[in-house]
Structure 1
Amino acid sequence: MKDPDAHANPPVDGGELIRFDKVTKRFGDNTVLDRLDFSVESGRHVTLIGPSGSGKTTILRLLMTLTRPDEGTIKVNGDYLTHEERGGKLVPAREKHVREVRKNIGMVFQHFNLFPNMSVLRNITEAPVTVLGMSKDEAEARARELLELVGLSDKADAYPTRLSGGQQQRVAIARALAMRPQVLLLDEVTSALDPELVAGVLDVLRDIARSTDITMLCVTHEMGFARDISDQVLMFDSGRVIESGSPDKMFGEPEHARTREFLSAVL
């Protein structure tokens, strides 16, 4: 008999969901992350702020295994992401292991990355059917719920090229949520949009943050949005977290001179 909860969102228990342990990432001579330690608790909304090149997007790319750490380890829900234990030793993970752990993670990119030859509905259902093994009917029912959530109920049969940039990004958000991830990664999701489309996408994300308990890890230069949705804000500089705290503290009374300098430039 099919388990009715097989495709339900995983429970949120407030425990540690993501852990970076002394993670270093270099690109040539440039050290982008420098022995980074940080963690994200289940159900929390955490925003990474800081200047371009400080390592924020690299963190998301490491979690999606689009790149691998040079040193250190990453855990998701207690499991190593790019390593596994074999014969009592920690070794680089096999692809099957990586895929299994990565299923807990969804990401919305700066650019929408929709399949242009697929309808909106199929863009959303393709991965749940092929990766999670959902039935087509179940995946379509879930997709239609999500299209209603992002305000696109009437676009199920449309193709991406017929949508505005803001509509495409909302489809991308629905597609990420369709996999029922434990954590949703948001990488400058409004940076490729025309200014008049930004507010609509941010409103959708605010609704998701308020109405669900999904964990969010967000990189953004939209400081008002960061203040609205975040439980915790982390300030990055030169590949390290130099300050963290609540939105009220970080935007109202930051302690570090570099944080004050950055915020004075962007607010």
Structure 2
Amino acid sequence: MAIDPLDNPLQKASAQDGTPGMPPDLVRFDHVVKRFGDHVVLDRLDFGVQRGKHVTLIGPSGSGKTTILRLLMTLERVSDGVIWVDGEPLSHMRGPDGELRPASEKYLRGARRKIGMVFQQFNLFPNMKVLQNIMEAPVNVLGIGREEAEARARELLDLVGLSDKVDAHPSQLSGGQQQRVAIARALAMRPEILLLDEVTSALDPELVAGVLDLLRDIARTTDITMLCVTHEMGFARDISDQVLMFDAGRVIESGPPEKIFSDPERDRTREFLSAVL
């Protein structure tokens, strides 16, 4: 069913001007609900992320954090509400008279070009060499010439410390090296928004620090907007401009990392942090 954005003042504001006196959000969740059958995973979720900021989502397993990233990557569709990216609807498209209606697959393919995601599992193409893994999407999705795509891929492999693995296959790499390739592959799409979903959870403990250090460097040296789901609280404290604490599909507390980690207001936040720190 079509949604009239003028029926919802919050949607109208996020789509146009943002909160008065504040820069408009690059990403905005407006009254977003996600259900799987009768199970409500996200319950009328409202939050925004400003351009260039790094926001970390923390909370217990099953609280809806990864679902947020999957909705942004258009791997799942919202049940209710609207997601906005850069002032335009992501989850919906505008009809001829301006009303919002569920987005077509063609629309979604175009909308998600601004967004890159690094998953828990590396999801590399096993039959392709490292260089090909990084070049594939820029060539076939963005239409970049192979020469330009290869030059960019080699730059990124140098950035992630794997310039000597150009001709290796994923099976010849360690888990940490495969995740570095996955990060380079996401960056090859030149995303405005980078989604990080527990990117160290599949790694052996001794490989975690190297991947987190790489992500710290990317956060410090680029203007990419980041949304990160992680149980690595030290990493969250280091890179975040804002931390959101989730429980049962809702944000129950948000603030700068020094506030959330040192002086949280909610008992549930304190309880969670005492279990993971």
Aligned to 2:161: 151
Aligned to 2:17: none
2:96 aligns with one of 83, 87, 99: 87
Aligned equivalents of 1:243, 1:70: Cα separation in 2: 24
1:223 aligns with one of 233, 245, 250: 233
Aligned equivalents of 2:231, 2:25: Cα separation in 1: 26
1:125 aligns with one of 113, 122, 135: 135
What secondary structure does 1:102 align onto?
helix
Aligned equivalents of 2:249, 2:88: Cα separation in 1: 24
Aligned to 2:180: 170
Aligned equivalents of 2:238, 2:130: Cα separation in 1: 29
Aligned to 2:262: 252
Aligned to 2:71: 62
1:209 is aligned to 2:246: no
Q: CA RMSD in A?
A: 1.1
1:199 is aligned to 2:209: yes
1:35 is aligned to 2:44: yes
Q: With structure 2 as the length reference, what TM-score do the two structures score?
A: 0.90
Aligned equivalents of 1:125, 1:79: Cα separation in 2: 28
Aligned to 2:33: 24
What secondary structure does 1:141 align onto?
helix
Aligned equivalents of 2:38, 2:61: Cα separation in 1: 17
1:45 aligns with one of 47, 54, 79: 54
**1:102 deviation in Å?**
0.5
Aligned to 2:146: 136
Residues paired across the two proteins, number: 255
Amino acid corresponding to residue 180 of structure 1 in structure 2: R
Aligned to 2:85: 76
What secondary structure does 2:122 align onto?
coil
Percent identical among aligned pairs is 76
Q: Could you report, residue by residue, the CA deviation over 1:151-191 in whole angstroms, capped at 9, with x for unpaired residues?
A: 10100111000000000000000000000000000000000
**1:121 deviation in Å?**
0.3
Q: Could you report, residue by residue, the CA deviation over 1:222-263 in whole angstroms, capped at 9, with x for unpaired residues?
A: 000000111110000111111111110010111111101100
2:247 aligns with one of 222, 225, 237: 237
Aligned to 2:14: none
Aligned equivalents of 1:200, 1:176: Cα separation in 2: 18
Aligned equivalents of 1:82, 1:228: Cα separation in 2: 31
Aligned to 2:191: 181
Range that drifts further, 217-226 or 131-140: 131-140
1:107 is aligned to 2:124: no
Amino acid corresponding to residue 144 of structure 1 in structure 2: R
Aligned to 1:10: none
Amino acid corresponding to residue 51 of structure 1 in structure 2: P
Aligned to 2:6: none
Aligned equivalents of 1:263, 1:93: Cα separation in 2: 38
Aligned equivalents of 1:208, 1:109: Cα separation in 2: 17
Q: Could you report, residue by residue, the CA deviation over 1:96-149 in whole angstroms, capped at 9, with x for unpaired residues?
A: 111111000000000000000001001001100111111111111111111111
Aligned equivalents of 2:222, 2:90: Cα separation in 1: 25
Q: With structure 1 as the length reference, what TM-score do the two structures score?
A: 0.94
Aligned to 1:97: 107
Aligned to 1:4: none
What secondary structure does 2:142 align onto?
coil
